[in-house]
Structure 1
Amino acid sequence: MTDATTLASRSCEACEKGTPPLDADKAREMLQQLDGWNIKDDGRAITKRWEFKGFLKAQGVANLAAAIADRQGHHPDIRFGWGYCEVDFTTHAAGGLTENDFICAARIDAALA
């Protein structure tokens, strides 16, 4: 079982205001378990962009990402249009990244594999 598979099999745990964000080293370590995701916003978020020919596939990925995240109680920023879909995860209650962000990212990747 790969690290990404392990992440994708986990569930998010509810975060409350004041939950500490991951430190930069731990965030970079967890990022290595994902495919094609990048750290942005000075380490406070992760992002991925998919590119397609057409609109419907982009909309489908946006809907899939929204459904997966919502089932986990997590709510990313999602942008899509003709030929692309971008998803950003951050944990607002922590003011940065938590394991939940990486779990949802891995679940999306597993669903699209």
Structure 2
Amino acid sequence: MLDTLRCEACSSDAVALTHEAQTALLASLADWEIVVEADIPRLRKLYTFKNFKLAWAFANRIAALAEEEFHHPTIVLEWGKVHVEWWSHSLKGLHKNDFICAAKSDQLLDE
């Protein structure tokens, strides 16, 4: 269901999701985890592929999604692997947008 939603622009009074809200939304995602780095919670997932070219193509689809949603993750490309982290930089935490983009990232595997 999250993959059918669009990201919303974060207003100046937007706040990060509570731990309870994060946990509830995380339950709807497969194989994503919440990690804390520099005191900032982030959604993280490792995707694996048969070779570099497939991983590269997937990383490009994630980049296109980021531009379409105007919400930009960390993308790390390795041979056969793509690490993706979504979080809301301006909020220094997680927003519903991060969970929407995580769900949409998973949909890109089918392309």
Task: Decide: shared fold, TM above 0.5.
Answer: yes
The reply to whether residue 37 of structure 1 matches residue 32 of structure 2 is yes
| Aligned-partner Cα distance in 1 for 2:66–2:29 | 16
State yes or no: 1:25 paired with 2:16.
no
Deviation digits for residues 29-79 of structure 1 (CA, Å, limit 9, x no counterpart): 101111111101166110000112210111111111111121001000000
Q: Counterpart of 1:31 in structure 2: which amino acid?
A: L
| 1:112 aligns to 2:99 (yes or no) | no
Corresponding position: 1:60 with 2:53: no
1:109 Cα deviation from its structure 2 partner: 0.9
In 1, distance between residues paired with 2:15 and 2:80? 36
For 2:76, give the aligned amino acid: R
Q: Which stretches of structure 1, 4 residues or longer, exceed 3 Å deviation after superposition?
A: none
- In structure 1, stretches of 5+ residues that fail to align are 1-5
How far, CA to CA, are the matches of 1:40 and 1:21 in structure 2?
15
| Equivalent position amino acid for 2:43 in 1 | I
Alignment of structure 1 residues 1-113 onto 2, 5 Å: 6-41=1-36, 44-113=41-110
- Aligned equivalents of 2:56, 2:12: Cα separation in 1: 32
Structure 1: how far apart are the matches of 2:67 and 2:13? 21
